[in-house]
A and B are shown apart, each in its own frame.
Chain A
Amino acid sequence: DAKTTQPNSMESNEEEPVHLPCNHSTISGTDYIHWYRQLPSQGPEYVIHGLTSNVNNRMASLAIAEDRKSSTLILHRATLRDAAVYYCILRPSGGSARQLTFGSGTQLTVLP
């Protein structure tokens, strides 16, 4: 599976936007870009995913570079509850049997 690279940690101030970067230079044409986040002592929570076009949902926005070699998860207004480890994961298309391979993720700290 293609690898992703994320910063180990980032800080943000409460109520400000947060841009979490992810590099995936070896992405293949059929790889979807998924983002999950994990709060302490909880299972990962689905945030958003996309293939080529930018995506928005109630939790966040996903901006995908034109060459798809990088993407950015955008939290429009960080809250203290957004403090978590954020994982950027590439998942090949091909049905339900394809699992997620987790990297080390980005630990987001939100400062009050």
Chain B
Amino acid sequence: GAVVSQHPSRVICKSGTSVKIECRSLDFQATTMFWYRQFPKQSLMLMATSNEGSKATYEQGVEKDKFLINHASLTLSTLTVTSAHPEDSSFYICSAPDRGSGNTIYFGEGSWLTVV
């Protein structure tokens, strides 16, 4: 299947700082990417839909000024957690549909964020 890669896989940052997570589609182009958050023992929750060349669409309750999304190219979307706090510590996962396989959605490996 198609490959989606995230970086970093794990990051620890201090409270009040910002951290950027990258999501890349390695062998296909993606005009749309999705960002999810997952707390321990819970299911994935969609945060936002990233659109290449335009603004992201955020789910209800997700602060767009805190979770900045930039989809600068057809293979890269970034999520920046600004002014991070310990409650932002979570597993962040991106995904993208691959048109070459009938828009099947493929997921990245996930990024663990710990805010101390």
Contacts and interface: CB of A to CB of B under 8 A. Distances in A.
A44 interface: yes
What is the interface of chain B mostly: helix, strand, loop, or mixed?
A: strand
B107 A41 contact: no
Bin chain B's interface residue count.
Answer: 20 to 34
A8 to B, nearest CB: 12
Interface residues of A, number: 22
Contacts of B93: 43-44
Contacts, number: 56
Nearest to B105: A100
Nearest to B10: A41
A28 interface: no
B86 to A, nearest CB: 20
B77 interface: no
Interface centre among B30, B36, B105 (most CB of A within 10 A): B105
B105 A43 contact: no
Interface in B85-116: 91, 93-95, 97, 99, 103-110, 112
Interface of A: 34, 36, 41-46, 49, 87, 91, 95-105
Interface of B: 1, 4, 6, 30-32, 34, 36, 43-46, 49, 91, 93-95, 97, 99, 103-110, 112
